[in-house]
């Protein structure tokens, strides 16, 4: 009940900033209001570029077939990152060759292409402080045989040709990959209800 009253007052204060709601608002302790300000859409530090860092994560066809999508998403949610884009698709050879532009001349590329186009992938954009670097640590070494336990690859795979997940390896790479896989309108800017503990840090 108290939460509803506070929310109503805050909603009024965002519409007008003047009149009775402002007077009533000042009667509430700041700590009590902080959570509710975030919940009704107050924007603060989340617009800073460092906090808004984004990366591309994809569950590869083996991960989808093995029903690992949920567990992989859970790891990123648990870490505190914010999901801003998500879709499932069948990758074309053309999209894959643009994604792996630097690997196209590698001897293993034909097998990589066959594997990556063999079934659907689930591709996501995650946002948060140092998300590119942290995701690479969470995903683990390219070769699962060298990936630490506790990483996605270290826990769910044993061979480089079936390493379950993709994660962008740099800020520039992430920007390029996000633009390649997602249209701008497919990415959502939204404020978490626990913004002060996850995003505005």
* Residue 82 binds which entry of Mg ion, ligand DAT, none, CB below 5-8 Å type-dependent: none
* Residue 112 binds which entry of Mg ion, ligand DAT, none, CB below 5-8 Å type-dependent: ligand DAT
133 touches Mg ion (CB under 5 A): no
Contacts to ligand DAT by CB under 6 A: 103, 108, 112, 142, 160-161, 163, 166, 169
- Residue 72 C-beta: closest distance to ligand DAT, Å: 14
Nearest CA among 52, 86, 49 for reference residue 69: 86
- Residue 201 C-beta: closest distance to Mg ion, Å: 28
- Residue 124 C-beta: closest distance to Mg ion, Å: 16
CA dihedral 157, 79, 77, 165 (to 10 degrees): -20
Active site residue 166: yes
Q: Please state, in angstroms and rounded to a whole number, the distance separating the CA atoms of residues 173 and 55.
A: 9
169 touches Mg ion (CB under 5 A): yes
* Residue 155 binds which entry of ligand DAT, Mg ion, none, CB below 5-8 Å type-dependent: none
* Measured CA angle at 55 (ends 43, 115), to 5 deg: 150
13 vs 55, beta carbon nearer ligand DAT? 55
Residues linked to residue 57 through DSSP beta bridges, in sequence order = 124, 167
CA dist 143 → 10, 92, 106, 148, 154 (Å): 51, 24, 16, 10, 9
155 touches Mg ion (CB under 5 A): no
Identify the three-state secondary structure at position 149. strand
Site residues for Mg ion per CB under 5 A: 169
């Amino acid at each position: 009940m108290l939460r509803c009253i506070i929310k109503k007052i805050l909603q009024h204060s965002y519409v007008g900033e003047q009149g009775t709601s402002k007077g009533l608002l000042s009667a509430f302790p700041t700590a009590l209001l902080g959570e509710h300000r975030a919940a009704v859409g107050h924007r603060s530090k989340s617009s800073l570029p460092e906090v808004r860092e984004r990366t591309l994560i994809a569950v590869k066809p083996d991960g989808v077939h093995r029903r690992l999508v949920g567990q992989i998403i859970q790891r990123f949610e648990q870490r505190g990152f914010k999901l801003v884009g998500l879709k499932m698709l069948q990758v074309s050879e053309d999209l894959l060759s643009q994604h792996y532009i630097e690997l196209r001349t590698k001897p293993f590329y034909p097998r990589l292409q066959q594997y990556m186009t063999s079934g659907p992938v689930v591709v996501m954009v995650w946002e948060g402080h140092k998300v590119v670097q942290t995701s690479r640590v969470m995903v683990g070494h390219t070769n699962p045989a060298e990936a630490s336990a506790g990483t996605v690859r270290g826990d769910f795979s044993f061979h480089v040709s079936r390493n379950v997940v993709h994660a962008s390896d740099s800020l520039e790479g992430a920007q390029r990959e996000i633009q390649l896989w997602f249209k701008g309108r497919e990415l959502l800017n939204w404020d978490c209800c626990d913004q002060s503990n996850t995003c505005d840090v």
